[in-house]
Amino acid sequence: MKHLQAELAQPKQDFFGTHIPLMQHLGLQTISSTEQEVITFLPWQACNANSRADVHGGTLMAILDFTLSAAARAQRPGSGMATIDMNSQFLLPARGDVWFKAQCLYLEGDTAYCEGGGYDEKERLLVKAAATFRVVRGS
């Protein structure tokens, strides 16, 4: 329990206006957010790796879920997003730092649809995802 208390005592990082403990735990860094595109960055860390020392697929999906939802929030400031559906395709192993880019392609009423991907330092597409979100009050 002491390690939990220490983590709670650490300063809260802001993720485009929202505090998300999981993203802080994973080490995600926010780079930029515009209505056209959101960019985030995950430096490689052993705690996020699978048995082959690649970034774990679950880590990639969690960060894509956040980055895609941030793309929708960039078009609807002050709103939160609840994931309705998300699909992903893993194309190459993530063997180091990963850059994520996402765009919101549709935002009408209380529904948003976003697409994005994770890229290595050579700008190769490692993983791609698409998600549908329900717009909710607050972030």
pLDDT (tens digit per residue) in 68-88: 999 999 999 999 999 999 999
Taking the C-alpha atoms of residue 12 and residue 54, their distance in angstroms, rounded to an integer, is 27
At residue 70, the 3 state secondary structure works out as: helix
Taking the C-alpha atoms of residue 57 and residue 77, their distance in angstroms, rounded to an integer, is 29
More confident residue, 90 or 17: 90
For residue 10, the model assigns a pLDDT of 55
Q: What is the mean pLDDT of residues 37-62?
A: 97
Fill in the amino acid letter for 42.
L
**Arithmetic mean of pLDDT over the chain:** 91
- From its phi and psi, is residue 9 left (phi > 0), alpha (psi between -120 and 50) or beta? alpha
**Does domain 18-137 correspond to CATH entry 3.10.129.10?**
yes
Q: Where are the domains of the chain?
A: 18-137
